[in-house]
Amino acid sequence: MRHYGHLTPAQRRALFHQEPAEFGPASPVRTLGIALGATLYSPATRPRLAADIRKQAASGVVSMVLCLEDSIGDTEVPAAEENLVHQFAELAREGADDSLPLLFIRVRTPDQITRLTGRLGEAGRLLAGYVLPKFTAASGPAFLEAVTGAEVMSGRRLLAMPVLESPELLHLETRAAGLAAAARVVEKYRDRIPAIRLGVTDFCSAYGLRRAPDMSAYDVQLVASVIADVVNVFGRADGSGYAVTGPVWEYFPVTERMFKPQLRNSPFSGRAEELRARLIEHDMDGLLREIELDRANGLSGKTCIHPSHVAPVHALSVVTQEEFSDAADILRTGPEGGGVLRSAYTNKMNEVKPHRAWAERTMLRAEVFGVALDGVDFVDLLTAGIG
């Protein structure tokens, strides 16, 4: 699979200087952590789940989570498990495994991992791994050992994505110790963890908060502070870090606005005013702003609950020509050289040693999301992604 693989070769050539590379479940976890992009969540109870998965793959989705946890009621779990087994069997009968997204199951308990892996049988070849909810140092080992056991049972690698969302990781008096302890737990399983996910909705719930569509997660100071601390512990660029994914954007219906739109006119001038109006109408200007803030704060990709969120996440993940040029110049100098370079775009300095980690991450993003042609911007990519 690849990002923008749903476009024709001619369409990709018109957009990319360097096209997105292919990747798959067997790719290195460092690559997969960035390649996840917009991870679309879906309740496991959906009766046409197999058809939904095929539809989303055809529109550019490359990772999905099929949820047995908070998105369904407690009494629905047995039926949801049965539905997953049936839907995976349907997908397996149809073949075309390479055309499907990376599929993860979000479980409630460790024993579900063992049980579902066994019940999926041969169709389990379509499963990339499991999402582990409310992950802490106390609950995490049982989940991760269950994934390890399921891997032995199935005879193939299974990935694990812990979700940090428990109150003890938010509360000031327990946060630092809780995050450090969770980091020690996941370190043992580093080779199967592509990303750490953030459960910001649960964090807000601990204080009875809910952000409006005019506000990003970073406008809620309690949430912003815990995001910063999670990145501080899990997102370091010294080789010990992981990809940390952006928080969910909850909004997709039309709602009444209190604040003026956040999406400037200038990027859309003369070519896509209708698209801009549509994004504002559906509160997507706030999503676009939050995606940019995610990147600025060390996060990659995003948890998504609606298909309309996928294209904006991916459009803003493509590396620009300017970013690519700066990163290449920095890496070309070599770590022992040091010094300061003037950007080829003559608008900034590139300091070789301090900016090297940024350049390496940018090149990894360029590998999986591609590099836009000079003159191609996120409006072009967004328009192509929406179709």
pLDDT tens-digit readout, 162-181:
999 999 999 999 999 999 99
Q: Contact at 8 Å (CB) between 245 and 34?
A: no
pLDDT at 365: 97
Domain match, 172 and 312 both = yes
Within-domain flag for 282: yes
pLDDT at 280: 47
Domain match, 19 and 138 both = yes
- Which residues of the chain register pLDDT less than 70? 253-283, 335, 387
pLDDT at 188: 95
Within-domain flag for 311: yes
Within-domain flag for 261: yes
- Single residue among 318, 341, 357 that ends a domain in this structure: 318
Within-domain flag for 16: yes
Number of domains in the chain: 2
In sequence order, the 6+-apart residues with CB closer than 8 A to the CB of 368 are: 2, 3, 20, 21, 23, 31, 34, 35, 37
Domain match, 197 and 333 both = no
Domain match, 326 and 187 both = no
* Cα Dmax for the chain: 62
Q: Contact at 8 Å (CB) between 222 and 156?
A: no
pLDDT at 258: 46
Domain match, 88 and 192 both = yes
In sequence order, the 6+-apart residues with CB closer than 8 A to the CB of 108 are: 68, 69, 77, 133
Beta strands 243-246; 195-198: pairing state: parallel
Domain match, 344 and 209 both = no
* DSSP category for residue 350: E
Domain match, 92 and 216 both = yes
CA pseudo-torsion sign 57, 32, 47, 205: negative
pLDDT at 264: 55
DSSP, collapsed to helix, strand or coil, labels residue 163 as: strand
Domain extent, residue 332, equals: 322-369
Other Cβ atoms closer than 10 A to 253: 8
pLDDT at 257: 44
Domain match, 182 and 34 both = yes
pLDDT at 266: 55
Amino acid at 63: S
Domain match, 166 and 233 both = yes
Within-domain flag for 25: yes
Within-domain flag for 351: yes
CA pseudo-torsion sign 27, 245, 104, 178: positive
Domain match, 300 and 344 both = no
Domain match, 31 and 58 both = yes
Cα 143–chain centre separation: 21
Q: Contact at 8 Å (CB) between 298 and 235?
A: yes
Measured in degrees and rounded to the nearest 5, phi and psi for residue 196 equal: -105, 130
We report the CATH number of the domain holding residue 272 as 3.20.20.60
DSSP, collapsed to helix, strand or coil, labels residue 61 as: coil
Domain match, 110 and 133 both = yes
Residues recorded for the chain: 387
Within-domain flag for 249: yes
Within-domain flag for 383: no
